Amino acid sequence: MAKAPKNAISPTRAEDFPEWYQQVVRAADLAENSEVRGCMVIKPWGYGLWEKMQQQLDRMFKDTGHKNAYFPLLIPVSYLEKEATHVEGFATECAVVTHHRLELDSDGKMVPKGELTEPYVIRPTSETIIGAAFARWTQSYRDLPLLINQWANVMRWEMRTRMFLRTAEFLWQEGHTAHETKEEALEETHKMHEVYETFLRDHLAVPVIAGEKTEAERFPGALNTYTVEAMVQDRKAIQAGTSHFLGQNFSKAAGIEYESREGKRELAWTTSWGVSTRMIGTLLMAHSDDDGLVLPPRVAPTQVVIIPVMPKDEHREIVMPVVEDLATRLKAQTFHQAPVEVEVDARDIGGGTKTWEWIKKGAPIRIEVGPRDVEKGSVALARRDKGPKEKAFIPVDEAVGGIVDTLQEIQDNLLARAKGFLDENLVEFDDIEKFRAFFTPENADKPEIHGGFALVHWAGSTEDEEALQAELKITVRCIPKDADLRGGKGTCIYTGKEAEGRVIFAKSY
């Protein structure tokens, strides 16, 4: 019997998906837990990935007319209170600042002093504080639309945390806009919903189901919440980004009024939309394998790593000049409007260790150059989306000339793979018992990997959703935007009432 291949990550996805996730975060050196409850340290490789995402999203925001600005970290409690649903949604999980200095007490311990007249919360989101600014900025219809984005840290005191997926502090962007009319605000909400869908597909190689949330999963204070839902490899859903139509709720709360074209005082219509470092968790679970992280080239901090192979000291002067020249030639290539990101790893550690480090970190392409390759004028090129042993031995010129195509092939391959997986695990049901079975562990390969996205007719209430959540741990992920998925009228799988169309049910993160 052949020996089972040993993987870099233990346990494997099939053995224990949640633990596999934690191990990949660690093996890829993305982040680690800190001593601050629920807060992580994002390490250079993880932060490099976030920077890449930021750059590309930021360009998309600017191309759609938005400008960045920065608003205070602290929010007076009275601000939160102005929008009733909003404060309810966030009151149970916010960090509260009550004092403004520390003093030594009689035991020699530093204790909080200088109590504030009004406590502040660290922003869990910024609708209220940005609304107050918008109220100052908006006198006339000529001041509209306001199209603002903020890159910031936010804090939600979650009780159970998991790196990138749910942390007390996280990094995100929050777009906030104000408009003259309901139609314009809705158009903005949909436009940014689409930007997220495009970003996930074209940059992260993650196909999503775009759609609207039901009332139960709506943002506190929003009239409509639109979401992009990704399917990760345990077939659960993860909400990767949301765009909210806030109607006039926050305008009313903050007093965002303007003089209309007809000379009347009107309330503006607002939207907000955001994605966060949670996308790193999404990306990880969508593409990675039992050898570690797999990164789509468009967001990889290093797209090509060159590993000089120099078993003997005297190899250095043969190999390094070729490696440096190769690096220069690769960096001169352009992949999606930016120079190819190349790193030469000439650290003095074992070649095997080094190679496995880069496999675990998910670098899309590894190129090894040893003394014999130099002689032959060739290199060994390995793609992260293929097996760790699979290498192409090709002439240097071919490696250089083909690098951009190879990066694009990897990008396309990851998307196709994820799309295939989503299609395979997106199942229509009209029979409630089959639907139940789909989400019941006994019918799954493994305790943690089961189900998928179920597409069913639905006309249930929030209470019906809660009942299904209690029974099967599933929620309505969204009412799909895609007319083919939504389908026509039919009978609600749960209530038997007439339903307008199908929705997606799934377990989720």
Binding site for a second copy (CB under 8 A): 32, 34-36, 39-44, 46-48, 50-51, 67-77, 80-81, 87, 91-103, 110-112, 114, 119-122, 129, 132-133, 136, 142, 148, 152-153, 155, 157, 169, 171, 349
CB of 171 to a second copy, least distance (A): 7
CB crowding 49-65: b at 16 or more within 10 Å, else e: bbebbeebbeebbeeee
Task: Judge whether 476 and 456 are in contact, CB under 8 Å.
Answer: no
CB of 136 to a second copy, least distance (A): 7
Alpha-carbon gap, residue 229 to 165, rounded angstroms: 14
CB of 185 to a second copy, least distance (A): 20
CB of 31 to a second copy, least distance (A): 9
CB of 36 to a second copy, least distance (A): 4
Compare residues 157 and 226 and give the one whose CB is closer to a second copy: 157
In sign, the C-alpha dihedral spanning 283, 392, 378, 356 is positive
Alpha-carbon gap, residue 23 to 14, rounded angstroms: 14
Compare residues 40 and 185 and give the one whose CB is closer to a second copy: 40
CB of 247 to a second copy, least distance (A): 23
Compare residues 126 and 282 and give the one whose CB is closer to a second copy: 126
Name 229's bridge partners. Answer: 209, 239
**Residue closest to 363 by CA, chosen among 141, 45, 23:** 45
Compare residues 284 and 426 and give the one whose CB is closer to a second copy: 284
Q: CA separation (Å) from 81 to 87, 271, 356?
A: 5, 19, 52
In sign, the C-alpha dihedral spanning 326, 328, 332, 336 is positive
Compare residues 75 and 240 and give the one whose CB is closer to a second copy: 75
Compare residues 87 and 319 and give the one whose CB is closer to a second copy: 87
Q: Coil, strand or helix: which one is 23?
A: helix
Alpha-carbon gap, residue 239 to 462, rounded angstroms: 19
Compare residues 70 and 317 and give the one whose CB is closer to a second copy: 70
Compare residues 305 and 418 and give the one whose CB is closer to a second copy: 305
CB of 168 to a second copy, least distance (A): 8
Q: In this structure, what are the phi and psi dihedrals at residue 99, rounded to the nearest 5 degrees?
A: -135, 160
How far does the chain reach from its first CA to its final CA, in angstroms?
A: 39
Name 244's bridge partners. Answer: 225, 272
E strands within 249-399?
257-259, 265-267, 269-276, 304-308, 334-335, 338-339, 342-344, 365-369, 378-383, 392-395
